[in-house]
Amino acid sequence: MAKASAIVGSIIEILLVQPLKNIPQSSLVTTAKEAEFRVAKEARREVLLKAVVQAVPTYAMSCFRLPDRLCQDLEGLMHRFWWGHGTEKRKICWVSWKKLCQPKMGGGMGFRELQKFNTALLGKQVWRLLHEEHSLLYKVFKENFSPQVQFWMPRRIPVVLTLGTVFFGQNQILQLVCVGELVMVPSMADYTVASIIDPVTRMWNVSEIKPFLLPFEVEAIEGIPLSVCGAQDDIMWSESPDGVYSVCSTYRRLLRVEASGLSGCSSPAPMGTLWKSIWGLSLSPSIRNFLWRACSGALPTKLALWQRNVLYKPLCDQCGKGIEDTMHALWSCPALASIWSMESCLGPLLSRSFLDFTDLISSVLSTCSTQDSALFSVLVWLIWHTRNKKWLHQSGGSIEGINQRVQERVREFSALQSRGSPPTIPKPYSHWSPPPAGCLKVNYDEAVFSKANKGGIRVIIRNDRGLPMISLSQKIPYPSSSTLMEALALRRALLLAIKMGFHSVVLEGDSEIVVRAACTGGEPLSPHGHIIADVQRLAAQLDGLCF
């Protein structure tokens, strides 16, 4: 690790010591040649890159937009480090950096694309301008860029374009944050959102605009819950559950936007299941990393090296006949038949044919038990390392006794896993209890009818003897989430209690998120924030209320 720390120190010096505009292009390449990149395990490289190297430029990127060329040079430096480049040898980069930056559940390693992360960090500054009007940043930019108008205006306003130029260059985040220009029918140019809200019932009245909308658009509008007490408009970030802008959610959004414009796997769901199963194995990080490389075509097999003109023939050293690709090296080589035949739990797989190693391991993880999947993973990992030792004429290159070593490894991992896992504490059984004398208990709940795209609210009020006083059942359009449904049920329960003249009540529901928000008033920008604000206003009308 001492050698590997050289690259960290070098990148820190490049990013923090030298001014951004004076960084020579060749300094990164020179530093890469002088630093020793070799680290014993890929897992260590992953931790070093994510926790140290990629964290170094975060402060600079939150204040400035780094030049694209500088980001590309830094990414090239990290890319070569990941694949083990050093001063003595140059190694092949088997997977592109862009694919490595995909999430682990998408087939990558979860590294950061610096340009997109830079954009996401700068978006935080715009969020501060929108919500922190008393900050020094707001006062400086307000005075210099838009002294007469508000920051948040349609993109056609030059001021917003100026801010976009200052922060983003090409308005990448502005297109995601801003609602955009509202396109309406010319005859309805003067209509606003308030025009389709009934001021008495506080419900949607879309009858006048129905001729201009599709049925699913009308259904989507009617599914948006409105405040019954009146609420001010606010700007929220839809990518975060709490409605507050976050760098991580914006970075993920930028990745999705780019991926939506690229041709990819025709059926991404099975691959996502495979990656989730691989990274969820209770094994060493080195083994999980090896399985990822095997499924990504990143193993230096004879065929892969022959295709890159490194070897003059792609024949397998074990059998001397077959072409050595990943599937042959780890599974179908005749020299490995004795190894696989000794594992009775994998016997049904021996009679089947598979397209490639990805197809094989998908079948193993989906049909075999957790113990058998771990055994298979450790076995292919040991087969590969034994193959490498034989090719390099090192000791331990014989496949004899490999099954016994696999069993020992699996037992070690199982022992460590059982030792580190905390004991499972059963949840206490909850049952209904009466409220204090003189109080009423209001129980509320929600139900979702996904096929009909509807939701249901149920409320029952009982006295201190457990006798029901009144109950209610109501069907509503399904909003965006079950949490929002639970908040609507809480509000409906309060409205019913106030209408019936009950002033001392105990509210009981099963959503901890909603109850905590109602007690503390937190997450005002969340999708259910305006409903919680209604709950707090209604609760102020009661003499006694507790959750």
For residue 358, the model assigns a pLDDT of 93
- The Cα 14–Cα 29 span in angstroms is 11
CB 492 within 8 A of CB 463: no
For residue 39, the model assigns a pLDDT of 40
Q: Which residues have CB under 8 Å from 85's CB, separation 6+? A: 32, 37, 91
Neighbours of 273 (CB within 10 A): 14
What sections of 132-246 are H helices per DSSP?
136-145, 158-167, 172-177, 215-222
User: Residue 327, Cα to own-chain centre: how many angstroms?
Assistant: 31
In the chain, which stretches have pLDDT less than 70? 1-41, 85-89, 145-191, 261-270, 397, 416-430, 544-545, 547
* Domain segments of the chain as ranges: 5-112, 119-248, 290-420, 440-546
For residue 143, the model assigns a pLDDT of 75
Comparing CA positions, the residue from 10, 44, 42, 39 lying closest to residue 27 is 10
- The Cα 29–Cα 77 span in angstroms is 7
238-241 long-range CB contacts below 8 Å, 24 or more apart? 238/527, 241/526
Q: In Å, how far are 123, 168, 235, 522 from 244, measured between CA atoms?
A: 12, 20, 9, 11
- The Cα 510–Cα 486 span in angstroms is 8
As a residue count, the chain comes to 547
- The Cα 109–Cα 420 span in angstroms is 25
pTM attached to this predicted model: 0.77
For residue 345, the model assigns a pLDDT of 83
Q: In Å, how far are 37, 124, 229, 521 from 536, measured between CA atoms?
A: 58, 30, 10, 8
Q: Class of the 440-546 domain? A: alpha beta
Which tokens go with 136? 């020094």
